[in-house]
């Protein structure tokens, strides 16, 4: 078998494999999937466009202020950003959520 043909075949197969994964819709978190939501319920303009905080607030309410988060300040009223920090800084639909404050601080709390 010709080595050039083998390399091109391998390259083609890898390209097909990676492009099909890139085109697949990202996984939706179970709490949204279990409520029968579709991509279009949140991505109202385009499936590839980021969802704004205003869109999140159509279904979700901002949490009431709380005094104690195990030593951390109120997560939804940051001393740096106030209550204006975008939901997406912590809550990610298509990847694991994160504690945005932990980039600089040592607060530990679970982010759904």
Task: Give tens-digit pLDDT for 20-72.
Answer: 444 556 788 888 999 999 988 988 887 778 888 888 889 888 766 655 555 55
Tell me how many domains the chain contains. 1
Residue 22 forms part of a structural domain: no
Residue 14 forms part of a structural domain: no
pLDDT of residue 82: 79
pLDDT of residue 22: 47
Instruction: Domain of residue 95: give its range.
Output: 30-112
Residue 2 forms part of a structural domain: no
Residue 54 forms part of a structural domain: yes
Find, among 60, 43, 64, the residue nearest to 52 by Cα.
Answer: 43
pLDDT of residue 34: 92
């Amino acid at each position: 078998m010709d080595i050039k043909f083998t390399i091109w075949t391998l390259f083609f197969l890898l390209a097909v494999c990676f492009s099909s994964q890139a085109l697949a819709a990202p996984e939706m978190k179970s709490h949204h999937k279990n409520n029968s939501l579709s991509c279009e319920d949140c991505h109202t303009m385009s499936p590839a466009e980021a969802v704004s905080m205003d869109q999140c607030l159509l279904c979700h309410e901002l949490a009431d202020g709380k005094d104690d988060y195990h030593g951390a300040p109120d997560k939804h009223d940051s001393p740096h950003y106030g209550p204006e920090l975008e939901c997406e800084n912590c809550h990610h639909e298509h990847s694991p959520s994160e504690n945005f404050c932990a980039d600089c601080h040592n607060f530990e709390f679970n982010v759904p």
